[in-house]
Amino acid sequence: MTMISEFGIAIRPVMPKDRQGLANLIHFETHVHRHLDWKPPLDWLGDAPFLVLEQDGILRSALICPPDPPDVAWMRLFAVSSLYPLEKAWDLLWGEARKHLLQNPRIQIASIPLQEWFRRLLDQSHFRHTHDIVLMVWHRGSQVSMPKNPTVLVRPMNSDDLPTIEILDGLAFEPIWQNSLDSLQHAFHQASVATVALVENSLVGYQISTASPMGGHLARLAVHPHYQCKGIGSALVGDMLDQFSRRGASRVTVNTQDHNVISKTLYQKLGFRQSNEIYPVYQYIKEMDEPK
């Protein structure tokens, strides 16, 4: 990726020497978008595009959006100093990142903007609000008893399962929601409860959940398409809820897409109820950004 330099402004790939400046942007500035991610921003060092904007040698802004998996790029970080114009920083960094990403004709680019100012920037750059993610909440005592499938064995996940889980993940989700092996490894190492479901010794589903002072969070649930609606998801989620209950957790949350009727129905049957928390998903519409 080439460097752009004019009037004391430089757009360039991040370098190890930028760590402190990036940390200052992320932790002390007002305009900071961070993706809900398994990896902290600085762990993306070495991936592209990971761009910074300098003004007279001082780091003023950063944008991280490397593809992971290869055909999907999420806006993982956009941070701007209060001493630099917000829209100008976005236009310069996104313009350079866009050129890099669109070298792959299959690329999908997406973001979950939680702040109005970032939604406004995306709207101006041919991103469109395509759907929402909703938060569902389970409270201890609200679990509904579900009939168990005796052919399903739920056991703890181990690291040797991850290559198989990556394949299953790719079959269970549309491309923008698929996880790479690297992401799954990060998720596994941060998990509080991670289990797999087996049918006749074949791995057909998995879940990864994290813990917090508030309780638990079901971060990932996937079932092989051939085994969906056969009690696999119920077995995994029910076991996870039992484990958190035994630890004293009073609350477990999960995010799912607003249009994912199968997942929402499963969670509702197990005692989850939809909250008022909604997270918008924006996707870049390449056709809108093409020259007329």
Angle at which helix 181-190 crosses helix 162-172, to 10 degrees, equals 110
What pLDDT is stored for residue 2 in this prediction?
A: 46
| pLDDT tens-place string over residues 229-272 | 899 999 999 999 999 999 999 999 999 999 999 899 999 999 99
Domains within the chain, CATH numbers bracketed: 4-125 (3.40.630.30), 134-280 (3.40.630.30)
What pLDDT is stored for residue 131 in this prediction?
A: 96
Low-confidence stretches of the chain (pLDDT < 50) are: 1-2, 292
User: Is 95 within 8 Å of 61 (Cβ atoms)?
Assistant: no
Phi then psi for 110, rounded to 5 degrees?
A: -145, 165
What pLDDT is stored for residue 77 in this prediction?
A: 98
Partnered with residue 256 across adjacent β-strands are 134
What pLDDT is stored for residue 291 in this prediction?
A: 54
| pLDDT tens-place string over residues 96-114 | 999 999 999 999 999 999 9
Residues 6+ apart with CB under 8 A from 107: 67, 71, 72, 73, 101
What is the spatial distance between Cα 195 and Cα 208, in angstroms, rounded to a whole number? 7
What pLDDT is stored for residue 141 in this prediction?
A: 78
